[in-house]
Amino acid sequence: MNFHRLYATANKCYVVGNKLTPKGIMIHSTGANNPYLKRYVGPDDGLLGTNSYKNYWNNYQPGGQSICCHAFIGKLKDGTIATYQILPWNYQAWHCGRSGNQTHLSFEICEDGLNDKNYLDAVYHEAIDLCIYLCKEFGLSEKDILDHHEGNSIGIASNHGDVAHWWSLFGYSMDGLRDEVKKGLSKTNENHVALYVVRKDWSDISSQIGAYAILDNAKRACLSGYKVFDENGTEIYEYEDGVYPELYRVRKSWDDYRSQIGAFINLDHAKAVCVTGYKVYDENGKMVYSPEKKWKASDARHALRQSAGLETDTGEYDLNGDGKTTAAEARQILKNTL
């Protein structure tokens, strides 16, 4: 999924901000021959392209109507298919004209002239990915997904025919989408990795700034006003002003910050990426690890001479990054000669 976020903050629906606890997902299509996202999402973020009419849905009442959905799927200016979220998932959207507004997440797929199977295939698979993501995020299943037409048939949406009127032209269906989402969720569950999420509050999904498989990384990303939660919503860490986890930095020498190839909370992770010629330093610049290297006898001889001031110090044998070769370092090199 090629996912982006550009909230329609000027839209009346966003301004009102009624809260939503999602019970399902409703899929729509726009009913107009314009596959480009810029028609509905704006202003231009560099990827969308310019809408000179500015008639996107980031207006108080687009086209004079009180309407909004959670996301759009369509083309960027370069023709790439993408998903744009325009409303927080925990806000009610005004998308179907009936009670489904209070229960369902929603997204619109930008229609073209209904004559391009390749385009439909691309947005269809983008829609599958978005549905899998939303099902995982809100504990839904493929059974909770319908289109506007199906919503009308059970009395929660107005009388529209999307998306069946379009998809059926090329052999696609909502049943097919639900089958693919079911497969995707099953595969996801088999390879499940627990994630730690960083949010202001567990219920405030729109505030999320990251999700991490490693707890220490989640803690490091946690800013003032944010907390770390496990995937069950249990708070396990809260930001403390001025308190930062210690980082171990991998560099050629402490002063050569441009050579840094990583900074890690976990020392073992720093050691794992530390290759010959690099060392691991703590927050104070003290070397805490250097990968073992087998030196030649000539290296030991030069190191001993440099530590005694009998040769110009080349820095080659400076193991702890303090800018000089010491007798202790020379002895260490001698110990590790071939």
Residue 143 · residue 178 · CB < 8 Å: yes
Distance (Å, whole) CA 126 – CA 184: 13
CB atoms within 10 A of CB 307: 20
pLDDT at 191: 64
Is residue 32 very low, low, confident or very high in pLDDT (cuts 50, 70, 90)? very high
**Cis geometry, peptide bond prior to residue 288 (ω within 30 degrees of 0):** no
Statement: 3-190 belongs to CATH 3.40.80.10: yes
The pLDDT of residue 198 is 83
pLDDT in tens, 246-275: 678 888 888 887 777 766 667 877 787 777
How confident is the model at residue 188, as a pLDDT? 61
SS3 19: strand
pLDDT at 119 (0 to 100): 95
**Mean pLDDT, rounded, for 272-286:** 81
DSSP secondary structure code for residue 198 in this structure? E
> Which of 192 and 164 is assigned the larger pLDDT?
164
**In this model, does residue 105 exceed pLDDT 60?**
yes
Percent of the chain with pLDDT over 90: 49
The reported pLDDT for the residue numbered 241 is 61
The neighbouring-strand residues paired with 5 are 85
Residues in the chain: 338
Alpha carbon distance 303, 148 (integer Å):
77
Structure tokens belonging to residue 101 = 């507004």
- Tell whether the model's pLDDT for residue 244 goes beyond 60: no
Numbered ranges of CATH 3.40.80.10 in the chain = 3-190
pLDDT score recorded for residue 293: 67
Q: What is the mean pLDDT of the chain?
A: 87
Q: Say what the pLDDT of residue 320 is.
A: 63
Beta strands at 287-289 and 210-212: parallel, antiparallel or unpaired = unpaired
DSSP code at position 91: B
pLDDT at 136 over 70: yes
Beta-strand runs (E) in the chain: 3-5, 24-29, 71-75, 81-85, 104-109, 145-147, 196-199, 210-212, 227-229, 235-238, 248-251, 262-264, 279-281, 287-289
Q: Is 57 left (phi over 0), alpha (psi -120 to 50) or beta?
A: alpha
Question: How far is 143 from 103, CA to CA, in rounded Å?
Answer: 14
